[in-house]
Amino acid sequence: MDPRRLPHHVAVIMDGNGRWARDRGRPRIFGHRAGIESVRDVVKACSQIGVEYLTLYTFSRENWKRPKAEVSALMKMLRNLLKNEIKELDRNDVRVMAIGRVDDLPDSVRKELSRAIDKTRDNKGLTLILALSYGGRGEIADAASRAAKGVLDGELAPEEINEDTFGRFLYAPDVPDPDLLIRTSGELRVSNFLLWQIAYSEIWVTDVLWPDFTRNELFEAIADFQKRERRFGGVE
């Protein structure tokens, strides 16, 4: 792995918690709890090697369709994780952000999330972006709605809307697009994640289930990324 050619932004679809638990004869929530250790390891690794942005697909809008007990347990885990990890994140100069329809989250989760964002706002190290109640199509629809409002308010002319101006209406317009998208569990789909932003992302898929994913797999993904030639539609 060449430290001079690191991806600026790594995005991760963390998949396989349920299968990991099922393979061990345990309930799905057991796998979600185990996956927290992988989150810690990957966040620390990205911070230590100098990755600038890490976006984790933490909870999708589609995840609200899961059994009520599982969703409730996930929200409790998220609240506790934010509450318990914030000091460590702040100590390591990590800045916390969130994208998605966060107003959908329970009040207790939004409270801890706001606290984490406020406490780490001025940190200069890794920016950790949590995709919460997030969907790529929803983000594009929300951006289109905001752009339309700008037109109605006279702040933007229809002919001024292009890829650059539209991008300003996304959830995190100042964050660069992911250079590397990692998907665990071997599934070959992007699952409605960052649909606008991953247009030219390099994709790396591993059969490893998320609770078994460590910094070793992360480094393997980055090393593979560094072997690729990124032409963005051009020629060498």
Q: Which amino acid is at 77?
A: M
pLDDT at 40: 97
Low-confidence ranges of the chain (pLDDT < 50): none
DSSP reduced 3-state for 205: strand
63 is catalytic: yes
**What number of other Cβ atoms are within 10 A of residue 34's Cβ?**
18
Please give the mean pLDDT across all residues of the chain. Answer: 96
Exactly one of 63, 92, 123, 192 is catalytic; name it: 63
pLDDT at 236: 66
**What number of other Cβ atoms are within 10 A of residue 14's Cβ?**
21
Domains and CATH numbers, the chain: 3-135+177-227 (3.40.1180.10)
15 is catalytic: yes
User: Distance between CA atoms of 98 and 121, rounded to whole angstroms?
Assistant: 12
What does the radius of gyration of the chain's CA atoms come to, in whole angstroms? 18
Q: Which two tokens stand for residue 64?
A: 């609200």
Q: What angle do CA 142, 145, 151 make, to 5 degrees?
A: 145
Per-residue model confidence as pLDDT tens digits over 69-101: 999 999 999 999 999 999 999 999 999 999 999
User: Distance between CA atoms of 200 and 227, rounded to whole angstroms?
Assistant: 16
User: Distance between CA atoms of 33 and 148, rounded to whole angstroms?
Assistant: 41
